[in-house]
Structure 1
């Protein structure tokens, strides 16, 4: 509790703790009922046109949640304690927890196994258990016992026996990482699906959907999946394949409680295995010359494989050291524990520059790094010898051209950095690292989306001067590999590194939006809000609020989107950025359009267009022109819409806006179809689809596929239409875009034409449920109309009239309302 007796939300470490604080606040405020709190919250939200259901407010007080709506939480806290500073403390606490969730979603998964570790010794009986080919094998044991090394070696032996012929996957789940939280299983599945060839725009949202798709893809395959460093069974179960030819190897420090698993418990090496490993790493002649001392060394490091490998590497690199001298030095560190003692002694035996590099590399917040990142940390491009020395000493693990640290080594390195390096040195090293990633990310994104260069920060060259992607293909590949590191850096500490957080979020935003990673957009922008407030930048806050609004609208959360965008307009006015005000107004207009508020939409669009023209912002002018066309279409003014779309196409091509060009072409095709010129529409949709796929623009691809389906349906090619609709639904479902609801309605219409009324009704009912869930009025009206048509075809005229009547009410003043009025009058005259 605070001094005032109020619960302090900053003491909570997770969502359950925050809920507990909220329950205490409810008691402090006199313990009002959920109904009373809902009524008070409704008063705050009345201007947003939405009254929360009682169960929604009550859910805020329920433990076991994975997410919590920030705006709802803030409203509940406000009605219980109306103090702006106190409400902001709750917002900050929730955002800090989201930061952990974001970092949990940073995952590096691989579509092949790491190299087979050379010089593997021992474990013959344990290997035999794995080679029996059980579907699930869990390898458990203490830290440093060699679980990862064993699992990788066993996996390679399985491949030689024919397992994993089709698929081999590997991921570090970070269950015991000293810095990063355990990997989110949903994020792991997302990376697995991408590794299996699923385009980013077709990776389904949510854990269950991703797990189902993963299992489906592997059901008939010969697959080998290695899940390294699992925290518990719950983090593993969704990641397990269930095909008859699939094998999963799991490593963990905890004894497994999975009844279906074959267990392999790894203990420290026995005496013979320990000496064998020491011979292989230190040199057989030295061990054989003094086996007694060698045996005492193995005992002192606990016969742990990691510690033995480090000790052997140290001895190999110091051939002038007698074993007794090494034993004496090790004895002085014995209180630190076996692995730690070997680490400390090996560290002390390194050259000073290699020791410093190890300490500073341990500060890297991401899962792995390349030589360029290491050069940035070291402050010199000549890092090859340093990495070679650290790899030879078993302190850095190499995988191709990537490097990583064992979690024990990382923890040791961070501790030594805190002791040996002044804060100014570590901050300078981390700053160089962050500068490197920011500069390279800007180079990559500028290559992929050159039309928006002017909207991204311009950065000075970094020191040391290191290569950056120089082709579109290289840029896309670099972002694919480095995205986990970029997100980790942006979310590392927004208060200490606000410029890097804000810049990286701005740099990456277009790419993340294009490839449909909306969850990542939201997470980054929430950190930008923290960063903006930390350095008093209303401009940063405006950027974050606008991008949060765009992502919320993409996912159908229109009220939340409108609230974000209205706040963005205010922030931009405060910052004096008129161009940004115009952009935010354009996006706010889009939300009004989606909510059927066309006059408000046109008013915002007109102001946005005026600002764009006055400031010479051609990119915004092109995009606003497209959106004015959409409003004209909804008002039934298709010729006017076509004029706006063609104007947008001219501008987007002029400025090189490929995603804008895709949308303009698609909308022009749509307008031609509505005007009865279907044959003219098809090639436009085909061109839009090609651009979307080239740019990795999942949303644009989904729209183009849906419109191709509509064109085929208009031409009477109903089977082809259904095929396009199926592809469109998959693409839009993957990105979470609300347009998927329209595809359900379109599919229902074609099914009804084919005489499959029951299936049509099912599709319209699914569309209605989804539309009502997010408040999508027009698609809900379409769904009700289609459901009425299906009921009529099924011989249920009363149900048909009921649905048409409800549809007419939803359309309100839209042009479709007049058509339904005519239909209802006709039906009633015939009854």
Structure 2
């Protein structure tokens, strides 16, 4: 085919779609793209400049590309070609047909079109040789489709795709994410009007959150509002609040979020489709890659995860402190995934994922400084991570819990919502030692209340008792002793009914603590002695060590120093025999109190210092703060006000960080007394006043619950 077969009168093609009149934001992306495509960056005899814009459906790839193409079109006087590659269609466009379309635009008649793909590509490159043209390839399926359409030297190529196309050499790859809040708000304001938006800004922000800051969703929401000027924004806000119908609402004329998503999701097959649907059930949190192993019930499913990432249906959300990649679905894609995830296969996949969380949490809990009073389901988890993986992930258990905390809390809620009661309460119970170490009482209470409701609905009496016991402990920490006693009595009764001696003994220990802290020392002594007998009967030596310490603590409160010394000594001996360093630290704190009451200050300081060393070694900042508070008080009382004040201030900072207001109040009290004895009246008054205020707030909070 000769080039002279072209019709000489055909004008250069100027095929760019119209620019976006309300294009908003993307400043850095626009700068990078226009710089890559500008005439100044392109050598007339150099290879074509290639820029690829990728991202999930609805993120605004084509809008950005069109906007930037218009910004640089003056540098391409020979014209601009626009080809739609149909990458999201059931059958993407054939490169040979696309080349025919391009050649026609360049003036080649149908009779002159070569027959083969190779011949058409050669003619296409010849026609564009040394003619600076911009070739816009929209919605590419993959690199192979694009490669056939690359022009010769001196041109530029702009590609959009939902897939991460990384195989083309010398390419600028620009990955788009959702809009930041400011730009999302600006886009909605440009569509519906800034005054209307300003008048209902809270509703507008809620709409943007429901849209997940996805540009297509914002445009659809804006179009609906623009078409209904009489609507308050709160009407659409309420309609978008229900995630199960949100995609139904995000439709306006031919603009439709679900349709855009379906063009990608319908291409998923087999394991990728199963994984996508299951991930939709797992909530808004980021997830580790092993979740796909659980979904598919096989090892090493990384390739499936990678395929979803490459299709921009799953986002790589970063790397956690353990070095694990984290993955996350966009909120609206999660709504799409959930639509087809109601079958038994997805329920079984969910049960396996929850089993993985539970087994990992139990494994990590076993490595924490203290696991006292752990109560777990008798039936094993339905799926467990391989032993090597478990060991690697939980080698540093606190770091693992820190990395997975949000996912674990969400998993408890998810298990409860889907009727997997045993998974819900088993996971909630496994989280208790971690919550205890970090004083995360709100999450402790949340997970236990959710799991308690689930256990009751399923008639799971052991789960109900375990969650009541855990909630009773939270109430103890919050000085809500009447509530604590009520929950602990109910837990005890259920454990007794089930013949679970250990569970009953654990509940009785809680009743003893509630009695002691509310002033009923003799009653507390009875509870602890009863619990001790039960621990001895079932051979629970850890429970025995706790009960002996608790009895010694009561005798300390009763000022019976001889009996306190006896019981605390027995508890210390047993803790050391068991290698339970945390229990040794707790007993050492009580022995410090004992020696202080005996006016043996040096020994008291030694015991409190030993306790602090133990807790710091174990990484228990919470108990460490109490040891530090006791040590600081002893130092100050001995006359070392500087070191004492320093330790008290350090313990106060930890209590404030952890949200332990009771510990905070007692430290304020000790500091106030320290400064009063030093004659610093104003500072003493400040600290003592704060102690009184905090205790009043604690009593008021307990009364409102």
TM class, shorter-length: 0.5 to 0.7
- The answer for the alignment partner of 1:483 in structure 2 is 405
Superposed displacement of residue 672, structure 1: 1.4
Distance 2:300 2:549 in 1: 51
- The answer for the alignment partner of 1:504 in structure 2 is 427
Secondary structure of 2:453's counterpart equals helix
- The answer for the alignment partner of 1:562 in structure 2 is 485
- The answer for the alignment partner of 1:751 in structure 2 is 675
Distance 1:612 1:638 in 2: 25
Distance 2:311 2:500 in 1: 54
Distance 2:441 2:447 in 1: 10
Secondary structure of 2:327's counterpart equals strand
- The answer for the alignment partner of 2:649 in structure 1 is 726
Distance 2:686 2:565 in 1: 34
Q: Deviations over 1:296-334 (max 9, x none)?
A: xxxxxxxxxxxxx997353547679999xx99xxxxx99
Distance 2:562 2:30 in 1: 68
- The answer for the alignment partner of 2:414 in structure 1 is 492
**Structure 1 residues 586, 356: CA separation in 2 closer, same or farther (over 3 Å shift)?**
closer
Superposed displacement of residue 292, structure 1: 12
- The answer for the alignment partner of 1:195 in structure 2 is none
Superposed displacement of residue 524, structure 1: 1.2
**Structure 1 residues 558, 321: CA separation in 2 closer, same or farther (over 3 Å shift)?**
farther
Q: 2:472 aligned with 1:549, yes or no?
A: yes
Unaligned stretches of 5+ in structure 1? 1-120, 132-148, 154-252, 254-264, 295-308, 328-332, 777-831
Tell me if structure 2 keeps the 8 A contact 1:440–1:468.
Answer: yes
Tell me if structure 2 keeps the 8 A contact 1:515–1:696.
Answer: no
- The answer for the alignment partner of 1:443 in structure 2 is 363
Tell me if structure 2 keeps the 8 A contact 1:659–1:692.
Answer: yes
Tell me if structure 1 keeps the 8 A contact 2:669–2:691.
Answer: yes
- The answer for the alignment partner of 1:312 in structure 2 is 139
Secondary structure of 1:353's counterpart equals helix
- After superposition, residues 575-586 of structure 1 pair within 5 angstroms as 575-586=498-509
Superposed displacement of residue 349, structure 1: 3.0
Q: 2:432 aligned with 1:518, yes or no?
A: no
Distance 2:461 2:141 in 1: 54
Q: Deviations over 1:462-489 (max 9, x none)?
A: 3674721347643332221112111111
- The answer for the alignment partner of 1:271 in structure 2 is 66
Distance 2:412 2:610 in 1: 36
Superposed displacement of residue 519, structure 1: 0.9
Distance 2:638 2:256 in 1: 75
Distance 2:618 2:528 in 1: 27
Tell me if structure 1 keeps the 8 A contact 2:308–2:314.
Answer: yes
**Structure 1 residues 416, 609: CA separation in 2 closer, same or farther (over 3 Å shift)?**
closer
Distance 1:393 1:556 in 2: 52
Q: 2:313 aligned with 1:395, yes or no?
A: yes
Superposed displacement of residue 575, structure 1: 2.2
- Say how many residue pairs are matched: 502
- The answer for the alignment partner of 1:357 in structure 2 is 275
- The answer for the alignment partner of 1:682 in structure 2 is 605
Superposed displacement of residue 554, structure 1: 0.9
Which deviates more from structure 2 when the two are superposed, residues 646-655 or residues 503-512? 646-655
Superposed displacement of residue 457, structure 1: 4.2
Superposed displacement of residue 410, structure 1: 1.7
Which deviates more from structure 2 when the two are superposed, residues 341-350 or residues 363-372? 341-350
Distance 1:463 1:709 in 2: 46
Superposed displacement of residue 290, structure 1: 4.7
Tell me if structure 1 keeps the 8 A contact 2:512–2:524.
Answer: yes
Q: 2:348 aligned with 1:424, yes or no?
A: no
- The answer for the alignment partner of 2:553 in structure 1 is 630
**Structure 1 residues 425, 440: CA separation in 2 closer, same or farther (over 3 Å shift)?**
same
Distance 2:487 2:507 in 1: 10
Tell me if structure 2 keeps the 8 A contact 1:678–1:714.
Answer: no
Tell me if structure 1 keeps the 8 A contact 2:421–2:460.
Answer: no
- After superposition, residues 609-648 of structure 1 pair within 5 angstroms as 609-648=532-571
Task: Give runs of ≥4 in structure 1 deviating > 6 Å.
Answer: 121-125, 149-153, 274-289, 291-294, 317-323, 333-336
Tell me if structure 1 keeps the 8 A contact 2:365–2:430.
Answer: yes
**Structure 1 residues 383, 463: CA separation in 2 closer, same or farther (over 3 Å shift)?**
same
Superposed displacement of residue 535, structure 1: 2.4
Tell me if structure 2 keeps the 8 A contact 1:688–1:701.
Answer: yes
Distance 1:310 1:497 in 2: 48
**Structure 1 residues 317, 598: CA separation in 2 closer, same or farther (over 3 Å shift)?**
farther
Distance 2:69 2:274 in 1: 30
Distance 2:394 2:613 in 1: 17
Secondary structure of 2:627's counterpart equals helix
- The answer for the alignment partner of 2:495 in structure 1 is 572
- The answer for the alignment partner of 2:383 in structure 1 is 462
Superposed displacement of residue 716, structure 1: 0.7
Unaligned stretches of 5+ in structure 2? 1-19, 34-58, 73-81, 106-135, 151-159, 162-250, 320-324, 701-705
**Structure 1 residues 314, 417: CA separation in 2 closer, same or farther (over 3 Å shift)?**
farther
Superposed displacement of residue 605, structure 1: 1.7
- The answer for the alignment partner of 2:130 in structure 1 is none
Tell me if structure 2 keeps the 8 A contact 1:310–1:393.
Answer: no
Distance 2:337 2:308 in 1: 12
Match of 2:297 among 379, 383, 387: 379
The Cα RMSD (Å) is: 4.2
Distance 1:603 1:760 in 2: 40
- The answer for the alignment partner of 1:404 in structure 2 is 328
Superposed displacement of residue 754, structure 1: 0.8
Distance 1:732 1:548 in 2: 21
Tell me if structure 2 keeps the 8 A contact 1:565–1:584.
Answer: yes
Superposed displacement of residue 532, structure 1: 2.0
- After superposition, residues 60-139 of structure 1 pair within 5 angstroms as 126=25
Tell me if structure 2 keeps the 8 A contact 1:702–1:732.
Answer: yes
Tell me if structure 1 keeps the 8 A contact 2:372–2:543.
Answer: no
Distance 1:721 1:280 in 2: 74
Q: Deviations over 1:454-513 (max 9, x none)?
A: 744462673674721347643332221112111111111426110101110111111111
Q: Under a length normalisation based on structure 1, what TM-score does the superposition of the two structures give?
A: 0.54
Which deviates more from structure 2 when the two are superposed, residues 747-756 or residues 314-323? 314-323
- After superposition, residues 192-203 of structure 1 pair within 5 angstroms as none
Q: Deviations over 1:772-827 (max 9, x none)?
A: 45459xxxxxxxxxxxxxxxxxxxxxxxxxxxxxxxxxxxxxxxxxxxxxxxxxxx
Distance 1:662 1:293 in 2: 84
Secondary structure of 1:492's counterpart equals helix
Higher Cα radius of gyration: 2
**Structure 1 residues 274, 368: CA separation in 2 closer, same or farther (over 3 Å shift)?**
farther
Q: 2:597 aligned with 1:770, yes or no?
A: no
Q: Deviations over 1:511-560 (max 9, x none)?
A: 11112111111111112211221222322222111111111111222222
